[in-house]
């Protein structure tokens, strides 16, 4: 039995899209952020960091979005959400998964939650502005690396493209939304055209504009 603890549009979006791409049965369990349920005693037993998502795979409790994503790609190789082991493409897949999670995804926390990063309220807007500047640069680099390729890995679609879509979506409220950066808007449209992605957004109650 697989269960995903999620909140609409949160980092759980990546494993949710993957589970629908894979087509395996799973249960969705809402972590009600409006009630701060991610900090409840019950949820902290699953993820002591109090963050979303968590994946239950039988008795195995897994937190960290990228780890969940790589685990799902490995467990269901027939879904081809990651290239074969030991190939250069697999190395590229690791590069993008790790880069996206520890660079733009982490930076988004400073942008969404700048108060976490300061002791002095007056510095909040400065932290947010600096995060925005760094995010712009990160998305520019990703755009250059992607170039005119169809997917991050070239011709092969992978979970990394789903992750990039999620990050492009998170930036939709930025003064310079990532969708407006060359190559990124087109990548987002290609990912959004996938039936599994559309179904995920529908189930989470997310409405257009998606990015």
Ligand X SMILES: N[C@@H](CCC(=O)N[C@@H](CS)C(=O)NCC(=O)O)C(=O)O
Site residues, ligand X (CB under 6 A): 10-11, 38, 50-52, 63-65, 101, 109
Residue 60: CB minimum distance to ligand X, A: 16
Using CA atoms, how far apart are residues 4 and 121, in angstroms rounded to an integer? 35
- Return the number of the residue (52 or 197) whose C-beta is nearest ligand X: 52
Residue 52: CB minimum distance to ligand X, A: 4
And the tokens for 85? 């082991």
- Return the number of the residue (71 or 190) whose C-beta is nearest ligand X: 71
Instruction: Name, in order, each residue with C-beta under 8 angstroms of 71's C-beta and a sequence gap of 6 or more.
Output: 55, 57, 62
- Return the number of the residue (41 or 86) whose C-beta is nearest ligand X: 41
Q: What is the largest CA-CA distance in the chain?
A: 51
Residue 10: CB minimum distance to ligand X, A: 4
At 67, is the secondary structure helix, strand, or coil? helix
- Return the number of the residue (45 or 182) whose C-beta is nearest ligand X: 45
Indicate if the alpha-carbon torsion angle 134, 140, 141, 142 is positive or negative. Answer: positive
């Amino acid at each position: 039995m697989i269960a995903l603890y999620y909140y609409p549009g949160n980092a759980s979006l990546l494993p949710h899209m993957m589970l629908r791409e894979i087509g395996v049965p799973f249960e969705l369990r809402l972590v009600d952020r409006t009630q701060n349920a991610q900090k409840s005693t019950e949820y902290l037993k699953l993820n002591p960091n109090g963050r979303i998502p968590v994946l239950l795979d039988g008795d195995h409790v897994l937190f960290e979005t990228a780890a969940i994503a790589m685990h799902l790609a490995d467990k269901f190789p027939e879904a081809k959400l990651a290239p074969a082991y030991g190939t250069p493409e697999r190395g590229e897949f690791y590069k993008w998964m790790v880069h996206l999670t520890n660079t733009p995804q982490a930076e988004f926390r400073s942008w969404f939650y700048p108060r976490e990063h300061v002791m002095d309220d007056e510095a909040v807007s400065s932290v947010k502005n600096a995060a925005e500047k760094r995010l712009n640069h990160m998305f520019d680099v990703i755009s250059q690396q992607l170039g005119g390729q169809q997917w991050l890995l070239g011709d092969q679609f992978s979970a990394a493209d789903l992750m990039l879509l999620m990050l492009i979506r998170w930036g939709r409220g930025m003064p310079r939304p990532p969708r407006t950066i060359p190559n990124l808007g087109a990548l987002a449209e290609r990912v959004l055209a996938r039936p599994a992605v559309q179904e995920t957004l529908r189930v989470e109650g997310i409405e257009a504009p998606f990015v």
